[in-house]
Amino acid sequence: VVLVVGLSVGLSGSNNPSTTNTDRQATPSLAPTGIFVPTLEAIVERGFLRCGVPEGEIGFGLLNEATNELEGFEIDMCRAVAAAIFGSDEDRFEPVPTASPDRWTSLQSKSIDILARRS
Tell me which residues of the chain have a pLDDT lower than 50: 1-12, 14
**Domain residue limits, the chain:** 49-119
Confidence (pLDDT) at 36? 63
Task: Please write the tens of the pLDDT for every residue from 21-34.
Answer: 555 565 555 555 55
3-state secondary structure of 38: coil
Burial class (CB in 10 A: 0-12, 13-18, 19+), 2: exposed
pLDDT value at position 16?
52
119 touches 58 (CB < 8 A): no
With respect to CATH, is domain 49-119 assigned 3.40.190.10? yes
Give 52-72 pLDDT, tens digit per residue: 998 888 889 999 999 998 899
Q: What is the mean pLDDT of the chain?
A: 78
Task: Give me the pLDDT at residue 54, please.
Answer: 86
Residue 57's CB is within 10 A of a number of other CB atoms, namely 15
Count of CB atoms situated within 10 Å of the CB of 45: 8
